[in-house]
Amino acid sequence: MPIYHEKQKRELCALHALNNVFQDGQAYNKQMLDDICQSLAPSSMVNPHRSVLGLGNYDVNVIMAALQLKDCEAIWWDKRKNLDMLNADNVLGFILNMPSPLQWGPVSLPIKRKHWVAVRELDNVFYNLDSKFKNPEVIGDKEALKSFLKAQIRAKDCELLLVVSKTVAERKSWKTESGGIGGASWQ
């Protein structure tokens, strides 16, 4: 199965991360996310959920509302918790919000901005689908995923969202009982 990997355009990394998680370039578009921004702040002159110029740079509220349109939820991962509690079998994908250097053409500026990155399992292999990458980057199996996520969330200002179905969110079956990265769920 070919991997869908949307590349970075303007400040649309949230859009790319969503489409990369769903493996569908038609899952969301800029107009849908702009409409969500408008619904979240209908009377604001300057919308607080995207960049001032309206070029993207969407916040977490937009991602959470967009996921709800697909009967999914975003679960914020508490970095104080051990990743061994994660049941990756019940997670559709992961979205990281991480600092990223600002690029001006080929030059990397000493300014960091937040960037949304998708991670997804396809055919039993996890991939980093960062829209700034030329190609998807192989992470590997569940143990490699755990190591990758640990390294990312240890970094300052990095947050992790689990993308799960509403049913998984309600049952909290994105957690394990046994302490392994897959397995039985807590009830």
pLDDT tens, 60-113? 888 999 999 999 999 999 888 888 899 999 999 999 998 775 655 565 555 556
Residue with tokens 């994105």: 174
**How far, in Å, CA of 83 to CA of 77, rounded?**
9
**How far, in Å, CA of 178 to CA of 186, rounded?**
9
pTM: predicted TM-score of the whole model, two decimal places: 0.83
Report the CATH architecture of 13-171.
Alpha-Beta Complex (3.90)
Q: What does the block give as tokens for 108?
A: 């990397």
H-state helical runs in the chain: 13-22, 30-40, 60-69, 142-154, 166-171
Q: Which residues are catalytic?
A: 13, 115
- Domain ranges, ordered by start, for the chain: 13-171
pLDDT tens, 29-56? 998 888 887 887 777 777 766 766 666 7
